Amino acid sequence: MSPSGIGELLLTLIALEEGHNDEAINHVRAIPAGDHKIDLLLNAADRAFKKGNKVVLKGILKELVTADIDWSDGEKKHSALVLLRCLIRMTNATSNDSSDRFNENALYIEKAHKILSLCNAQESLYEAELDWLFRTSWNLAIQAATTAGTEEACILYNLTAKLLLLFPVKSVHCLQSLKICAFAILVGKVNLSRQDETEGSPHLDDALAALELLRGTLEELRKIDPEGVKEDPVVGQSVYLEFEVRVKRKEWEGLKGIVEYAECVDASVQIFERMAVTRHNCPSGVVFVTVQATLDAILKRDPEFDLTKFSQWFRVLVRTALVSNRDAAFGLFEQVKAIVKSSASQGNAYPEEEINWLMITAW
């Protein structure tokens, strides 16, 4: 144990006794790195705890979690987890709902996750600590989403997901929670990418990573409850969000596959429409496939069959075909003739304005 380390510890204890909080914390930070740093910090933390000095105790614990310390020893791991739990509670008790509180807690939860990832799942208190951290991180993520910002919420949902992945047995509750975390990150990152128009935004990479976790989790849930997953609205929403991400990344080749996937999972008409709205700046071939899939969805899945909506999307389809594939456009005019006749006979006439547009365009 270095003499300078012991000297800084003694100065810390003296300042603590005299009530000089800032001076005590400065001496704590001055303790040099080494094998015995953790013992010195734990000694100082114990004294601050017994003195009831929460300010100095928090400063010592912050130094503890940010220091470059080897946590592989079993006893050290347990001590660190106990102190981190104490630090998280102190931060929640003394801070308001500002971004600083969430960012500070995220630092501590990240450190706890790293320590737990070094533990054996059979070690005593492992699951209890993991469960407490998961619940704490989950609650903080929800609070951050409502009172702080999207960035803070995404960080905490990501930490919550990482903690859930440490559970040795993935129950249905665990998988459902993991699904919610992955979806929350996906939505948050897509929203952040809308505010960041720079090409190659890192938010898009994060969104795809969240999507991969979401799809993997849904696959695990599908093995347990196929019908439940089929009816889960998250499935359809994730399709549209992936489409938007791929468009922003200009990954044109993969867009047709997303449309096909949407058809496979029976996505709602609204999902197809949202993809079609995001068609701008896409190659005409992608636009054609997306709008055509939207029309098919209206025909197959819209129980009331909104003919006005259908006719407006059909106009978009014809315009696209006239630019990229005139032969296909001629075929569309043949198709719409049957729909116009059928709708008239059923008392739900094709909109006159759209018929006039078709006539003029054909002429």
d(CA 335, CA 320): 16
- Predicted local distance difference test score (pLDDT) of residue 213: 96
What Cα–Cα distance (Å) separates residue 208 from each residue in 66, 186, 272?
30, 7, 20
Confidence at 176, pLDDT banded by 50, 70, 90:
very high
For 349: left if phi > 0, alpha if psi spans -120 to 50, otherwise beta; the answer is beta
Q: How far is CA 158 from its chain centroid?
A: 6
Q: Are 136 and 88 in contact (CB under 8 A)?
A: yes
User: Domain segments of the chain: what residues?
Assistant: 171-281, 304-363
Which range among 170-179, 220-229, 261-270 has the greatest average pLDDT? 170-179
Q: Are 179 and 196 in contact (CB under 8 A)?
A: no
pLDDT tens digit sequence for 286-323: 888 888 888 888 878 766 677 778 888 888 888 877 77
- Predicted local distance difference test score (pLDDT) of residue 95: 66
Instruction: Give the mean pLDDT of 65-71.
Output: 69
- Predicted local distance difference test score (pLDDT) of residue 70: 66
Instruction: Give the mean pLDDT of 222-246.
Output: 86
Instruction: Give the mean pLDDT of 222-248.
Output: 87
Tell me which residue of 124, 39, 127, 121 sits closest to 80, measured CA to CA: 39
**Average pLDDT score, the chain:** 84
- Predicted local distance difference test score (pLDDT) of residue 135: 96
Token couple for 260: 């096909």
| CB neighbours of residue 328 within 10 Å | 15
Q: Looking at 64-68, 104-108, 135-139, which range is the least confident one? A: 64-68
What Cα–Cα distance (Å) separates residue 170 from each residue in 146, 219, 229, 230, 281?
28, 13, 17, 20, 42
Query: Which of 226 and 203 is assigned the larger pLDDT?
Result: 203
Those residues with Cβ within 8 angstroms of residue 106's Cβ, 6 or more apart along the chain or in another chain: 140, 152, 155, 156, 159
Confidence at 121, pLDDT banded by 50, 70, 90:
low
- Predicted local distance difference test score (pLDDT) of residue 59: 85
What totals of helices (H) and strands (E) does the chain contain, helices first? Answer: 18, 0
Query: Which of 171 and 344 is assigned the larger pLDDT?
Result: 171
Q: Looking at 32-36, 213-217, 262-266, which range is the least confident one? A: 32-36
Is the pLDDT score of 165 beyond 90? yes
| CB neighbours of residue 40 within 10 Å | 21
pLDDT tens digit sequence for 354-363: 888 888 877 7
pLDDT tens digit sequence for 184-198: 999 999 999 988 777
96 phi and psi, to 5 degrees? -90, -175
- Predicted local distance difference test score (pLDDT) of residue 73: 66
Q: Are 185 and 132 in contact (CB under 8 A)?
A: no
Instruction: Give the mean pLDDT of 275-291.
Output: 79
Of all residues in the chain, the percent with pLDDT exceeding 70 is: 90
